[in-house]
C-alpha cells in the first residue's frame, strides 16, 4: 500500500469513527461498526490503530493540535493589536465548528474514555490552549488595550467558555454566519452589554 493510500484509508477510518462516535457515543460504537460502514475488515483497522481507545486519542490529538497551531499563528502575528488577535482566536474557534465540530464535541464528551499517559498528554495540550489565551489577554493588559482591574485567568475562562459552548448550539448552516457570531461575542467581551 503506498503512503498516500495508507493516509487516505487512515483518514477514512478517522472520519467514519468521528461520525459514529458523535451519533451513537464512543462506548456504544464497536470496531465492527466502524469497519462495516467502510466495507473493510478488522485487519485493516488494526493496521492503523492498536485499539478503539488509541483511535479516540488520535481524534483528540488532531483536534487540539490543529487549534493550538492556529492559535500560535494568530498570537505570533506581529502587525495586529491584541484586540484583533482576540477576535481572530474567537473567530477561529467558531469558524472551525463546520469542519471540526464533531471532533470537538466528541473531545468534550468522551474525554472520560481516555486514560493514563494518553489523558495526561491531552490535558496538558488543552491547558496549553487556555494558557496561550490567557497570555493574549495579559499582553493586551500590559499594552493598555484591556483593563487591568480584573484577573486575566477569569477573563480567559469567561471568553473561552462562551466560545467552547458555541460547539453545543452553533449551526454552520443556520441563519447567523460564524463571523457575525464572533463579532457579537467580541463586542460583548470588549465593550459589554450595559447601555
Q: Tell me which residues touch its own copies (CB under 8 A).
A: 24-25, 27-28, 83, 108-109, 112-113, 137, 140, 144-148, 150-151, 154-155, 157-166, 168-169, 176, 181, 184-185, 187-195
Q: What is the dihedral of CA 192, 170, 69, 26, to 10 degrees?
A: 130
Closer residue to its own copies (CB): 41 or 179:
179
- Rounded distance between C-alpha atoms, residue 159 and residue 56, angstroms: 27
Q: How far is the CB of 32 from its own copies (least distance, A)?
A: 17
Q: How far is the CB of 124 from its own copies (least distance, A)?
A: 15
Of 15, 93, 91, 89, the residue nearest 59 (C-alpha): 15
Closer residue to its own copies (CB): 44 or 164:
164
Burial class (CB in 10 A: 0-12, 13-18, 19+), 87: buried
Evaluate whether 82 touches 143 at the Cβ level (below 8 Å): yes
CB-based contacts of 164: which residues, under 8 Å, 6+ apart? Answer: 93, 108
Closer residue to its own copies (CB): 45 or 170:
170
Q: Which secondary-structure segment (H or E) carries 136?
A: helix 116-142
Of 49, 50, 21, the residue nearest 37 (C-alpha): 21
Q: How far is the CB of 139 from its own copies (least distance, A)?
A: 13
Q: How far is the CB of 78 from its own copies (least distance, A)?
A: 21
Closer residue to its own copies (CB): 10 or 83:
83
Q: How far is the CB of 167 from its own copies (least distance, A)?
A: 9
- Rounded distance between C-alpha atoms, residue 29 and residue 104, angstroms: 18
Q: How many CB atoms lie within 10 A of CB 123?
A: 13
Q: How far is the CB of 65 from its own copies (least distance, A)?
A: 20
Amino acid at each position: 500500500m503506498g503512503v498516500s493510500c495508507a493516509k487516505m484509508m487512515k483518514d477514512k477510518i478517522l472520519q467514519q469513527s468521528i461520525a459514529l462516535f458523535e451519533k451513537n457515543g464512543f462506548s456504544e460504537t464497536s470496531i465492527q461498526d466502524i469497519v462495516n460502514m467502510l466495507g473493510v475488515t478488522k485487519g485493516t483497522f488494526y493496521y492503523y490503530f492498536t485499539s478503539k481507545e488509541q483511535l479516540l486519542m488520535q481524534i483528540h490529538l488532531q483536534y487540539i493540535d490543529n487549534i493550538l497551531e492556529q492559535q500560535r499563528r494568530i498570537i505570533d502575528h506581529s502587525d495586529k493589536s491584541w484586540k484583533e488577535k482576540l477576535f481572530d482566536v474567537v473567530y477561529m474557534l467558531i469558524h472551525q465548528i463546520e469542519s471540526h465540530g464533531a471532533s470537538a464535541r466528541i473531545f468534550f464528551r468522551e474525554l472520560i474514555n481516555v486514560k493514563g499517559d494518553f489523558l495526561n498528554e491531552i490535558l496538558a495540550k488543552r491547558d496549553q490552549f487556555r494558557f496561550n489565551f490567557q497570555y493574549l489577554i495579559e499582553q493586551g493588559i500590559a499594552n493598555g488595550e484591556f483593563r487591568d482591574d480584573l484577573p486575566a485567568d477569569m477573563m480567559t475562562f469567561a471568553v473561552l467558555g462562551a466560545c467552547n459552548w458555541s460547539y453545543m448550539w452553533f449551526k454552520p448552516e443556520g441563519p447567523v454566519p460564524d463571523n457575525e457570531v464572533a463579532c457579537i461575542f467580541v463586542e460583548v467581551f470588549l465593550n459589554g452589554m450595559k447601555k
